[in-house]
């Protein structure tokens, strides 16, 4: 067991195979130019359903319509690639209006919230069950994700998922940001807003798990937009098979 970056990391397997070098590098965790706030939920659902949820943010349009969702998410194509044991899904939206959550963040950063923006979502899964999502908006035409710091609001959504049983998990969530890092009231405001967003996911996932438990013979429907979750599950299955074979 190791405490690092504000989390406790536990290796339940062969102690001789445990290595702190395999922990993910969280560059924001101890950097003075970043602030972090988050929380914890206990969810009655298979942890892989949460990974599916985080690797396909198309659901934002419907589940989070009053905060981070907008129709342009449906209209913008997403791209999924696999790099080693990581699956990465990205989506970029150009010259759109920011949704309510990002308008709030723009105002907090001193940016006008009535101007068009370029928005991005880059979801990175790494085993066993971590998803880090680079998200943000920049004033349209200033470079998007590569825009100067004074033209954008940029954050990393932190999702650490600990399986508990086949149908339950502990979900550590949070957001790291690199603007107005000294503003503790803003950290609390963002944490509260994010908590409400993830509570909407919680309800959806628990209902999904209830249906899967009721009809176990039914398979999950996989669409093109599910590529990120599908690839993440393939990585998990491959690693589990290799561990069992060993």
Per-residue pLDDT of the chain (246 residues; tens, 9 = 90+): 888 888 888 888 788 888 888 888 898 988 999 999 999 999 999 999 999 989 987 766 556 656 676 667 677 788 999 999 999 999 999 999 999 889 989 998 999 999 999 999 999 999 989 999 999 999 999 999 999 999 999 999 999 999 999 999 999 999 999 888 999 999 998 899 888 888 888 888 999 999 999 988 877 656 555 688 899 999 999 999 998 887
77: tokens are 């194509």
Q: Which of 21, 45, 72, 10 is CA-nearest to residue 208?
A: 45
- 41 φ/ψ angles, rounded to the nearest 5 degrees: -125, 145
Please count the CA atoms within 13 angstroms of the CA of 204 that sit on its side-chain side. Answer: 16
What does pTM read for this prediction?
0.88
């Amino acid at each position: 067991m190791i405490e690092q970056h504000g989390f406790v990391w536990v290796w339940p397997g062969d102690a001789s195979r445990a290595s702190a070098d395999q922990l993910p590098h969280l560059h924001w965790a101890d950097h003075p130019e970043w602030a972090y706030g988050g929380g914890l939920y206990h969810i009655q659902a298979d942890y892989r359903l949460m990974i599916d949820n985080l690797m396909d943010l198309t659901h934002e349009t419907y589940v989070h319509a009053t905060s981070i969702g907008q129709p342009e998410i449906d209209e913008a194509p997403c791209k999924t690639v696999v790099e080693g044991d990581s699956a990465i899904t990205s989506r970029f939206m150009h010259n759109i209006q920011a949704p309510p959550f990002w308008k709030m963040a723009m105002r907090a950063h001193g940016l006008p919230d009535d101007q068009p923006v370029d928005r991005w979502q880059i979801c990175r899964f790494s085993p066993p069950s971590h998803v880090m999502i680079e998200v943000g908006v920049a004033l349209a035409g200033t470079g998007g994700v590569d825009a100067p710091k004074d033209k954008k609001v940029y954050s990393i959504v932190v999702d650490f998922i600990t399986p508990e049983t086949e149908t339950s998990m502990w979900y550590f969530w949070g957001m790291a940001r690199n603007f107005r890092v000294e503003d503790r009231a803003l950290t609390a405001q963002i944490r509260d807003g994010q908590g409400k967003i993830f509570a909407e996911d919680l309800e959806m996932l628990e209902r999904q798990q209830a249906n899967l438990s009721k009809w176990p013979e039914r398979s999950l429907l996989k669409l093109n937009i599910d590529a990120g979750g599908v690839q993440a599950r393939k990585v998990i299955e491959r690693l589990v098979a290799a561990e069992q074979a060993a």
